[in-house]
Structure 1
C-alpha cells in the first residue's frame, strides 16, 4: 500500500523524490520545506517518521515501472495514468485530515495508550500487568504524569474528550486501547489503518489543546516548528540588529542566519521585510508578475540576491507580500 501513499505527493508539477521523503520523515531543510510550501504540502511535515528510505525508494521505483511517474530534468511528474491512480490511491490510503505537524502525534501515541492502560489497571487496583510500551522514555513520561494525576478526574476528562470527537474517530481510538481485561488491536495491520489511527489521535490532540486539562501535560504542548536559534535570530533582526552583527554575535555563518529567517518565514512568522530587502529591490519585486523562477528573477533584478528572492517567493506564495512604501 506504500505506493498508494507516495503517489499522493506527486502531481503534474516536477517534484523531487528526496523532497517528498524528507517531508514525510520530518527533515527540516529549507529546500525540503520550500518545496513542500510550493506544492501546498507543508501540513504533512513529519507525517511518517518511521518510513525507511529503502521502502520509499522501492515504492517510487514501482510507480515508475507502472508508468505512473515520469522523470523530467527537475523532478518526477504524474503521467495521465498516474493521475487516475492518484485518485484511487487517496481512497485506499486516506491522509489524516486532522493531522498538523505541531501535534507531536508520533510522541504522544505511545504515551497515550500506556497512560490509558495505567489508569485502567489503577481503577481496578491491579499492579500485575505487562506495560504495552517497553520504551524507557515513554514509561518515564507516563510515570511522571501519573504521579501528578487524579485517576478518576483523568478518566472523566478522557470520557469528555471522547464525547467531543466524531463517533467514528472515537471508535477508532477505542478499538486500539489496552486496559484491564480489555485488549484492542495493538498495532494497525495496514497502512490505511495506521493513518486512520493517526487521524483519530490528531483529532484527540486538537481537543486536548483546547481543553488544557490533565491530558495536556501528558501531551506536552505543541511542537515549535521554528527552532530556538532561528527564533533568536528573528528576535534580533526585529529589534534592528543587522545580519552581519547577528552572525558575528552568534558565531554562525551568514548563510545559517539567512536560513533561520527563511525557516521563520516559511512557518508563517512575521519577518521584517523592510529591514532585509533594500527599497530599490523591493520596488522592483513589486512589479513582478511571474515570480516562480528564482533564476529569472535574479537576472531581472541584478542588485538582488538569492536570499531576498527566496524571501519574496515565500511571502508571495503565502499571499502576504507587503508592497514597498511609496
Structure 2
C-alpha cells in the first residue's frame, strides 16, 4: 500500500457524507463530525441524515478537514453550489463506491446517542478484562493499564460484590464467555481489532500503529473499525440479555453522562409539568429563543418526545398540511401565506414530519 493511497481513507469517508440530490454545507458537516452541540447543528445533522456520525471525530482539525474538501473539489468529486454548499458529483459517487469495495465502511456508528459514553465504556471494559485475565491465572505481579484511583476503587468494589455469589474462577469464566459470544456477533474486522487491543495474562494490547502495520491498513481506517465495532458492542449489550456483566460496565460508564445538559433538563422538567414556553423562560430567567432551542434539542435527541402535545391542534394541522403540499416549504413562505407561527414551531414540525414520513 503506497503512502498516497493510505492517506486517502478519511478523504473518501468524508466524501461519502455528501449527496448528489441535496447540497450540503461542508462546515456544517465538520461541526456534526466534531460534535458541536447547538440546536441548529443538531437539526442539520437530522436534516442531512448524519446523526449517527455526530461527535465521532471530535479531535478532527478544521484545517485538515477543509484541506480534504478542497482536494475533493479540485478532483471534481465535489461540486460547489450556492451559499457555500456542495454536491457530490457522479465522479465522486463512483469514487466512493469503488474505494469502499476494498476498504471498511462504518455501519454501526451511533454518535449522537452513544458517542460520549464510548470512550469511558472501552476504558472500563479493557481494564476489567486485564484484571480478570490476570486474576484467573493468580498473577498479582502486573502493571494495571488503568492508573486512575477512582477507576481502581470502583473495580475493587465491583469484584467484592460479585465474589459474594461467584468464585473468582467462575467470574473470570463468565466474563470470558461473554467476550467470546460478543466477538462472535461482530463483523470479523471489528472482532479482530478489538481482540488485538486487549491486554491480559502474558498478552499486551497492540497500539493502533502496530495493528495498522499488522493488517496493512491506514491508521484512520483501523480507528474507524474499532469505533464502529464498539458501537456495535453497545447495541448488542443493551438490546439483548446475553451480556449481564458487560451491561453492568456499560451502566457504570454512563453513570455521570446525560444526553442533555442541566439547562435543557430543567426546561424539560417544567414543560413536562405543563408549563407554557413563555412561563418556562420567565421562571428561569432565560430568553425565549434559548428555551425554544432546548425543545428542538429534546425533539431531535428523543424520537419519542411528544412534539404534537406542544403545539395547538389547529396550528399543527395547518402547517403539516402545508408540508404535505410542499415538503421543502420555507419559514418565510409560510409567513407569506398568512400563517404567523414562531420559528421554533416550524422547526419542530419539520422534525415531526420527518418522523411521520421516515
TM beyond 0.5: yes
Instruction: Establish whether residue 229 from structure 1 lines up as the match of residue 263 from structure 2.
Output: yes
Name the structure 1 match of 2:132: 119
**Aligned match for 1:110, one of 96, 114, 123:** 123
Judge which range, 29-38 or 212-221, deviates more. Answer: 212-221
1:85 and 1:243 map into 2 onto residues whose CA distance is: 48
Query: What runs of 5+ residues in structure 1 fail to find an aligned partner?
Result: 322-326
Deviations 1:209-261 (Å, cap 9, x if unpaired)? 24462333332365643434323323322332111110121221111100011
Name the structure 1 match of 2:215: none
Aligned length: 317
Q: Which TM-score applies when normalising by structure 2?
A: 0.79
Matches within 5 A, 1:188-199: 188-189=211-212, 190-199=219-228
Checking the alignment, whether the CA contact within 8 Å between 1:4 and 1:93 is kept in structure 2 is: no
Name the structure 1 match of 2:236: 207
Matches within 5 A, 1:162-311: 162-164=180-182, 165-166=184-185, 168=188, 169-187=190-208, 188-189=211-212, 190-209=219-238, 210-211=240-241, 213-219=244-250, 220=252, 224-267=258-301, 268-277=303-312, 279=314, 281-288=315-322, 289-292=325-328, 293-311=330-348
Q: Residue 16 of structure 2 aligns to a residue in which SS?
A: helix
Counterparts in 2 of 1:5 and 1:142: CA distance versus 1, 3 Å: farther
Name the structure 2 match of 1:29: 38
Checking the alignment, whether the CA contact within 8 Å between 1:172 and 1:197 is kept in structure 2 is: yes
Q: Residue 77 of structure 1 aligns to a residue in which SS?
A: strand
Report the Cα offset of residue 43 of structure 1: 1.8
1:105 and 1:315 map into 2 onto residues whose CA distance is: 29
Name the structure 1 match of 2:177: 159
Query: What runs of 5+ residues in structure 2 fail to find an aligned partner?
Result: 1-8, 163-167, 213-218
Q: Residue 79 of structure 2 aligns to a residue in which SS?
A: strand
